[in-house]
A and B are shown apart, each in its own frame.
Chain A
Amino acid sequence: MIIAGCGVIGAQLANNLSKAKHNVVVIDQVTSAFELLDPMFNGTTIWGNAIDVDILEQAGIREADAFVTVTPNDNLNLLATQIAKKMFKVSHVVALNSGPLRKTIAEDLGIQIISSVSLVTDCVLTSLGRRQE
């Protein structure tokens, strides 16, 4: 599986998946980002832009089972997942998006997005709701 974006979320995801014995490739444009990976991480790291088809090929996108983008750039995440799904027919693709702004277009394109803002606010509201009881 390929993870685009080795920030806090990407690194955590990569570490967990690698521990679970998955074959993980992480792409990021900032080499220092890879320092967030566990010393025990036994996947591959690639420096590059996740919407660059050459970088995706290098990461093995043709054989990938899953492609996840968790960069801070919402549009880049949506574009990268489209490339993975439509051009390379990867079966599982997920894009992180900060807010629900692009929910409509993601639905139009058939791309699953996870909105971090919505998730967090839902959790907080649920927790506050419990407090009030």
Chain B
Amino acid sequence: MEVGVIGGGKVGYYLVKTLLERGHKVILIEKDPCRADKIAEQLGIPVIICDGSDLSALVNAEIDQVQVLAIVTGKDEDNLITAQVAQKHLQIPRIIVRVNNPKNEEIFHSLGVEVTVSSTGVISNLIEVEATNEELKTLLTLHRGTMTLVEATLKTNSPVVNKKVKDIASRLPKGCVLVSILREDAVIFPRGDTTLQVGDEIIAVTTLRDEELLEKALIGTLRNGV
């Protein structure tokens, strides 16, 4: 597959290297001539030296021929403007944009740049999962924050232990789905006849609104201890 990468910093460099190892054809755009030369030498690929938001330079570099464009510079403003230029003028099927400041992710989405990746955001969420004392742990937010992927471990006092999924279905809030169960290192996909056991780690998708009700259904208590 042909991939375009804009930004030859740490992220860009290792991304290009990984893509080449996987057999993809990569076009790299980097505006600093020294860094561009070093990367061209080390990875043996042509590196185009230009500003990512320069439309005519991008077209000359044939960036519009790629199937995926990854915009990964260290500056959010550069990434945003480049993404907008690419979206409006280049017919690239998929554009992935790095966001450095997690707060900017919402801004990017509201300005029409949908697919964003914030490594700071991912890491801070992972830290939150460890830090939380809540029974229902949030693993990931989906669909622009309206849904969450959650995990809960069933303890002996859980109201659903030793019950079949079909029997507890009515107790679960409407806005959630049980996705999988991890039981002693084996993954089980819950069906109506699946009996829930102590120690089961359940993964579910739920709307934000129904999160507390799901916690009550699986764990037995609401967050404030009621």
Q: Which residues of A contact B (CB under 8 A)?
A: 51-54, 73-76, 78-80, 82-83, 86-87, 101-102, 104-105, 108-109
Contacts and interface: CB of A to CB of B under 8 A. Distances in A.
Given A75-B81, A101-B51, A102-B53, 6 more contacts: A52-B101, A52-B103, A74-B53, A104-B89, A105-B53, A105-B55
Contacts of B85: 104-105
A76 B88 contact: no
B110 interface: yes
Contacts of A102: 53, 81
Interface in B4-26: none
Contacts of B171: none
Interface of B: 51, 53-55, 75-78, 80-82, 84-85, 88-89, 101, 103-104, 107, 110-111
Nearest to B79: A75
A51 B55 contact: no
Contacts of B80: 75, 79
B149 to A, nearest CB: 27
Contacts of A76: 77
Contacts of B75: 75
B111 A104 contact: no
Contacts of A80: 77
* 4 A-B pairs closest in CB distance: A75-B77, A76-B77, A75-B81, A79-B77
Contacts of A51: 76-77, 104, 107
Contacts of A104: 55, 85, 89
Contacts of B88: 105, 108
Contacts of A109: 84
B81 A101 contact: no
B78 A75 contact: yes
15 contacts: A51-B104, A52-B103, A73-B77, A75-B77, A75-B78, A79-B76, A79-B80, A79-B81, A82-B111, A86-B110, A87-B110, A102-B81, A105-B53, A105-B84, A105-B88
Nearest to A87: B110
A89 B62 CA distance: 37
Contacts of B51: 101
Contact of B111 (A73, A75, A86): A86
Contacts of A78: 77, 81
A101 B107 contact: no
A118 to B, nearest CB: 16
Contacts of B111: 82-83, 86
